[in-house]
Chain A
Amino acid sequence: MSEMTFNASPKLSIGVELELQIIKARELDLSRDAEVLLARLQRMEVPGAVKPEITQSMIELNTSVHDRYDTLLAELQQMRDIIAREALRLNLLIAGGGTHPFHRWSERRIFPDERFNFVAQRYGFMAKQFTVFGQHIHIGCADGDAAIYLTHAFTRYLPHFIALAAASPFYQGEDTLFHSSRLAVVDAFPLSGHMPEVETWGQFIDYFDGMVQLGIVASMKDFYWDIRPKPEYGTIEIRVCDTPLTVERAALLAGYAQTLAYHLLAQRPPAPLPATYQVNRFNRFEACRFGCDAQLVDAQSRQRSSLRDDLAGTIAMLHEDAAALGTTAVLAEIDALLRGAPAQSELLRQRFKQRQSLADVVQAQADYWMAVPSKQEDRKAVLGTHSS
């Protein structure tokens, strides 16, 4: 079976990949202990899977495939507890957030693996700079055509995901002024950006074959698009999210994506090409830079509106779909976040302001992610209603 055979998956199933930071407890810099930690985790009964990533300072957590948001959340929490416990036994911390605030990329070490070595050889310093941490959300599609439609239709909503996930205000020791500085790192790769404006799976195969013949790509993995079909899993994969500060926020994003996909596939609103991509990069920048306060341009109505209003409007539109899917709590949560909860990146900035040290920011990122019992007060700010 070729890589490009679209393996239909249960409709609208969801799964999440989280790239996580492995932190040295003393210096709060990135560690290079991925191998040791993975070796330990491989001997445990961990649901889902835990895998290496490009440098020795990262691990990737993969959930199994879920039909429902609440089981996904429960599994993520279970995985978090196991990973946190094992990390602490090695005196390591695990942190979310899209970037490590002050690590030096030149200090990173490539994880010993054939593909990672290839990427490191090919991309040079960019590979080590790619030590940034994202969440990928998979949504199951019935066939390739549905995946192509969803990929285009979702593009309009990507700023929502960027803003809700954004947690990388600091990069290379500086306040970037961005809510999410991580995506700027992804942009450096030649095959980043978006899928071409094909309309069917057949056209996509033609495009892919052409790229292979030109020797530009060898597999789907070579495309670093914001959102891409993943025929091997029978999904589309949303890749714009920073790894959020908590697994609860990660599950929330997946629940929102599932609800939105349900709505789009049921209603099939048009996703006009090329208008969608005419405004895409601008909107994406706005969301990275300003979070929920971004000013978005709508390709169809030609109107500008704030991301906050656009998201609130979308939430309102999805109530019936959420009731059918069992994700009403997800919408309520996002609604609550929009009503005044500080953004994740703002929480990190506040911590820096209080403590005047980026090491303290890393500590906060680790405390949030590992759900340290003594720091529950702090977490409430990020968790919103989940904590009650």
Chain B
Amino acid sequence: MEFAFLPSFPPELNQAILFGLMLLAGICGGELLRRGVGLPRVTGYVLTGLLLGPSALNLISADLMANARPIVDVAIGLVLYELGHRLDLSWFRHNAWLLAMAVAESLLTFGAIFAAMYYFDYSPLVCALAAAMGVATSPAIVLLVSHELRTEGQLTERLMSLTAINTAVAAILIIVLLPWLHMEHSATAMSTLLHPVYVLAGSLLLGFAIHRGVVELARWLGKREDRQYILLIGAIVLAVGLARALQLSVVLALLAMGVLARNQDAKRALLALQFGYGGQLFLVVLFVFAGASLNFSGWREAGTAIAVFLVVRFVAKALAISIFSTASALRLGSALPLAAALLPMSEIAWLMMHDTVTIYPDFGPELTSLLLGALALSELVAPIVTGLALRRSDEAHPEGELSRV
């Protein structure tokens, strides 16, 4: 055994290799697509994932994807914290119609998709879960597109606020609905009721507790960006880990943390930080991962239902926004661009559901093919639509990328 010091061949893929490869492949894919066709980088990341994932080359197999999950969770945590930080509750105090718009947008989307899917003879629970996921806009996509184009203005602000609200609503709906899925299979009525209460209350409490700690530490560390950056990343990673360990909702806990940081810090101990390059690292992995999870097979099995799902979803959002646009001081002609910008479906909401759904083989496939089909198209096309909507509304910076499209 003279050569026992040599590794086996091929060497075992560890998480660092995976992380590095996903980053490199993602950034190259994104850049290729941007230079070649002038499309948003996000679309390139997703395509790269799709190409490397189980649906195509299978370089990133399902097993490897499970390995990448902790990194993806951190990405989700960063995204939701930032999204929460974009939600200014005092805005709703001065503009109650905007809150009405946000709530109506979520509820109408849920109701409309539920009704449409019921028409396609899906079981009520599948309809409800599909509708819940339809409510959410992808926070990762709207944030990334907005950063790339350096957008700012009324449409951008409303896009972030509506996304924060519909992400929260979707998360709550999914948390409430999933135990019903357990019950259909095994769980008792008691646990069906207690489980959502535990997850909802626990996630919010976790978010609150860590927020308090962060504020105290920020006061002690002082208003220095370098220190507070590390403080925040540390707190976010810790919150993600704790939420996972306690089987709470990463989405709700981190969203709550962000909202509290923006709205419950009267003396502004916390600086309004951008995650910048560091945050983008994780976003690239998130999108490559999301791309790898996609497949289009659903379109063969349930193409009509998927198409109807997507159309109904857009119409419901557009309708709710149009109804409240004037009252909420939205500029004339901005309702449709706003609805279009909200199009990207949430890969994060999908992951929330995915974990549970796949446990039940007899239930999973139906929902999976429907939602993955819709998500697949949305991940590829919707970022382009969001970018267009923001640019057409003159909110992109002249030197922001994609401005030549």
Contact = CB atoms under 8 A, between A and B. Distances in A.
Contact of A355 (B88, B91, B262, B267): B267
A122 interface: no
Contacts of A90: 95, 154, 329
B267 A25 contact: no
A306 B263 CA distance: 46
B271 interface: yes
B223 A357 contact: yes
Interface in A344-367: 355-357, 359-360, 363
Interface string A28-39: 100111001001
Interface string B146-163: 000000111001000000
A174 interface: no
Size range of the interface on B?
A: 20 to 34
B23 to A, nearest CB: 29
A27 interface: yes
Nearest to B268: A360
A1 to B, nearest CB: 38
Contact of B88 (A26, A28, A36, A40): A26
Interface string B208-230: 00000000000000110000000
B262 to A, nearest CB: 7
B300 interface: no
Given A26-B88, A39-B331, A91-B91, A357 B268 contact: yes
B94 interface: yes
B268 A26 contact: no
A32 B152 contact: yes
Nearest to B158: A91
A45 B94 CA distance: 19
A89 B331 contact: no
A24 B152 contact: yes
Contacts of A36: 153-154, 331
Contacts of A28: 272
A218 interface: no
Contact of A356 (B91, B223, B329): B223
Contacts of B271: 357, 359
A89 B95 contact: yes
A33 B329 contact: no
B86 interface: yes
A88 interface: yes
B152 A40 contact: no
B272 A26 contact: yes
A85 B94 CA distance: 8
Interface in B74-119: 85-86, 88, 90-91, 94-95
Interface in A1-39: 24-28, 31-33, 36, 39
Interface in B248-274: 262, 267-268, 271-272
Contacts of A86: 329
B222 A91 contact: no
A309 to B, nearest CB: 39
A33 B154 contact: yes
A32 B268 CA distance: 24
Contacts of B152: 24, 31-32
A246 to B, nearest CB: 21
B88 A91 contact: yes
Nearest to B153: A33
A88 B222 contact: no
A228 B94 CA distance: 41
Which of A27, A39, A89 has its CB near the most chain B CB atoms (within 10 A)? A89
Nearest to B87: A26
Contacts of A27: 272
B331 A25 contact: no
A25 B223 contact: no
Contacts of A31: 152-153
Contacts of B88: 25-26, 91
A34 to B, nearest CB: 11
A85 B93 CA distance: 11
A25 B91 contact: yes
A34 B268 CA distance: 26
Interface string A65-105: 00000000000000000000110111100000000000000
Nearest to B85: A26
A88 B267 contact: no
A27 B150 CA distance: 14
A40 B272 contact: no
Interface string A141-174: 0000000000000000000000000000000000
A266 B262 CA distance: 57
Contacts of B91: 25, 88, 91
Contacts of B223: 355-357
A26 B329 contact: no
A153 B117 CA distance: 81
Nearest to A56: B153
A89 B94 contact: yes
Interface string A282-293: 000000000000
Interface in B40-54: none
B196 to A, nearest CB: 32
A186 to B, nearest CB: 27
Contacts of A24: 152
Interface string B284-309: 00000000000000000000000000
18 contacts: A24-B152, A26-B85, A26-B86, A26-B262, A27-B272, A31-B152, A32-B153, A40-B329, A88-B94, A88-B95, A89-B329, A90-B95, A91-B157, A355-B223, A355-B267, A356-B222, A357-B223, A359-B272
Which 4 residue pairs spanning A and B have beta carbons closest together? A88-B94, A91-B91, A89-B95, A356-B223
